[in-house]
Amino acid sequence: MNKESKLYVVLFTFIISFIFIFVLSLINAYTIEKIELNREFSKVKAILSSAGIQFFDKKDALEKFNNLFIKKNINGVDFYIVDREGKEIFVYVFSGNGLWGLIEGAIATNKTVDQIIGIEIIAQNETPGLGGRIEEEWFKEQFKNEKLSGSLKLIYTGKQGDDDKTNSAVDAITGATLTSKFFVKIINDSIEIMRSALRSE
């Protein structure tokens, strides 16, 4: 058969595409559950880590989430509440605008909302390597146990992270000032929502 004939070109393209797409769909079918699970799991994981609860693997995390947390709607706001060492911790799942797209995450505070227990990111689309670094441990670590007087401020230390837990401030990410500003705004908005919901409780 002539290699350059129309029939051959069409047949060849069709068969090759078919084979490749078939293989891809097999691989996809095999992994889709895992990917889907990873996605669902990232929310559970975020809620657990924001409240400072350790877990070993997915199964353990789901178990702890189902056993320890109570989902409760208080004044129109959904909270995940967990009792830890006699103190109630309130977790709120937030979503707000970053520089490029939505940033979703979980924030945990005490009942009077004057101290952050921790934060965790579920999904973000900031520039990889710059704004995307809000997912890095040192950045999230700054929020852990931070005392809140009024709202959270952004400071520029020139180092990596602000260790002072009483100044109600976090260090911006070097090279990603805008994302840091947007992120702190999202956190402050979330704190406001939590305060107004829990005040009348």
Partner 1 sequence: MIPDLNPLLLFFASVFTSNILLSNFLGMCSFISISRDFKSSNGLGMAVTLVMTITTVLNWIVEKYIIVPFGLEYLRYIIYIIVIAAIVQILEMIIDRISPNLYISLGIFLPLITVNCAILGVALFMQLRNYSLIQSAFFGFGSGIGWWLAIVLLAAIRLKVDKAPVPAPLKGVGITLITIGIMAMAFIGFAGMINVQ
Partner 2 sequence: MNRYKEVLIKNIWVENPVFVLVLGICSTLAVTNNLKNTLIMTVGVTLVIAFSNFTISILKSLIPGKVRMMIQVLVISFYVIIVDIFLKAFVSDVSKALGPYVGLIITNCIIMGRAEAFAQANNALISFWDGLTSGLGYMYVLIIVAFFRELLGFGTVFGFRVLPDNFVNWTIMVMPPSAFFMLAIFIWIAKSFKKKEESK
Rg of the chain over CA atoms, in angstroms?
Answer: 23
Other C-beta atoms lying within 10 Å of the C-beta of residue 161: 15
Which of the ranges 63-71, 111-119, 126-134, 161-169 carries the binding residues for partner 2, by CB under 8 A? Answer: 126-134
Closest Cα to residue 152, out of 89, 109, 90, 111? Answer: 109
Residue 132 binding partner 2, by CB under 8 A: yes
Name which of 98 and 105 has its Cβ closer to partner 1.
Answer: 98
Per-residue burial over 56-84, b if 16 or more Cβ lie within 10 Å, else e, is eeeeebbebbeebbeeeeeeeeebbbbee
Residue 25 binding partner 2, by CB under 8 A: no
Question: Smallest distance, Å, CB 145 to partner 1?
Answer: 26
Residue 185 binding partner 1, by CB under 8 A: yes
Give the contacts of 183 (CB within 8 A, at least 6 positions apart): 98, 103, 134
Residue 97 binding partner 1, by CB under 8 A: yes
In eight-state DSSP terms, residue 86 is: T
Residue 34 binding partner 2, by CB under 8 A: yes
121-150 positions binding partner 1, by CB under 8 A: 125, 127
| Residue 110 binding partner per list partner 1, partner 2, none, with a CB distance cut-off of 5 to 8 Å that depends on partner kind | none
Q: Virtual CA dihedral for 21, 25, 27, 31, nearest 10 degrees?
A: 150
In eight-state DSSP terms, residue 90 is: E
Question: Smallest distance, Å, CB 173 to partner 2?
Answer: 9
CA–CA dist 68, 189 (Å, integer): 27
CA–CA dist 177, 174 (Å, integer): 7
53-82 positions binding partner 1, by CB under 8 A: none
* Binding map of partner 1 across residues 17-56, x = CB under 8 A, - = no contact: ----x--xx-xx---x------------------------
Residue 27 binding partner 2, by CB under 8 A: yes
Which residues of the chain form contacts with partner 2 (CB under 8 A)?
3-4, 8-9, 12-13, 16-17, 20, 23-24, 27-28, 31, 34-35, 38, 42, 123, 125, 128-130, 132, 135, 158-160, 174-175
